[in-house]
Amino acid sequence: MFRKLHDPGPQAVTIFIDGRSVSAEAGENLAAVLLRQAEGWSRTTTVTQSPRAPYCMMGVCFECLTEVDGVGSVQACLTTVRDGMRISRQLGRRVLSA
């Protein structure tokens, strides 16, 4: 669906989405990276488990919630990728882990 228009070259970093390594560009918006993945969705809703993808890209719609380095319900569109960042797509309601 979406693809990156240029090769980041030496600016390339690697992040991990559900354990899979994905190439991104330093300083890139996390929601943009999620949007160009093959699955097309980045979480399922807490009530009906319906799939959702980043939508407004400006921090207001909360569709792009994702787990970033263990912190839940982070807005991906307000997050900049860092090399080695670990992303988990949230499925339904999170479990409060002790």
Partner 1 sequence: MRPDIIVVGGGTVGAAIAYGLAGLKQRVTLLDGSDGDFRAARANFGLVWLQGKGMGLPAYQTLTRASIALWRDFTTELESLSGAGLDYENTGGLFFCVGEDGFDKRLSQLQRLHNQWDGGEPDWEMIDRAALEKLLPKARLGRNVSGASFGRLDGHANPLKLLMALHQGIVLRGGTVRSNAAVSKIERVGSDFRATLDGEQITAPRIVIAAGLGSARLAEQVGLVVPLRPQRGQVLVTERFDPFLPLPASGLRQTAEGTVMIGATQEETGFDVSTTSDAASRLSQKTVDVVPALAGATLVRQWAGLRVMTPDGYPIYAQSQSHPGAFVALCHSGVTLAAFHARDLASAILDGALPTSLTPFHQRRFDVSQAA
Binding site residues, partner 1, CB under 8 A: 46-47, 62, 65, 70-74, 92-98
Could you tell me which residues come within 8 angstroms of residue 75 by beta carbon, excluding any fewer than 6 positions away? Answer: 59, 62, 64, 65
> What minimum distance in Å lies between the beta carbon of 93 and partner 1?
5
Residue 1 or 71: the one with the smaller Cβ distance to partner 1 is 71
Residue 21 or 48: the one with the smaller Cβ distance to partner 1 is 48
Tokens standing for residue 75: 């807005």
Phi, psi of 39 (to 5 degrees): -65, -35
Which residue matches tokens 């992040």?
A: 15
> What minimum distance in Å lies between the beta carbon of 71 and partner 1?
7
Residue 5 or 95: the one with the smaller Cβ distance to partner 1 is 95
Q: Are 68 and 79 in contact (CB under 8 A)?
A: yes
> What minimum distance in Å lies between the beta carbon of 46 and partner 1?
4
Residue 69 or 83: the one with the smaller Cβ distance to partner 1 is 69
Tokens standing for residue 26: 């330093």
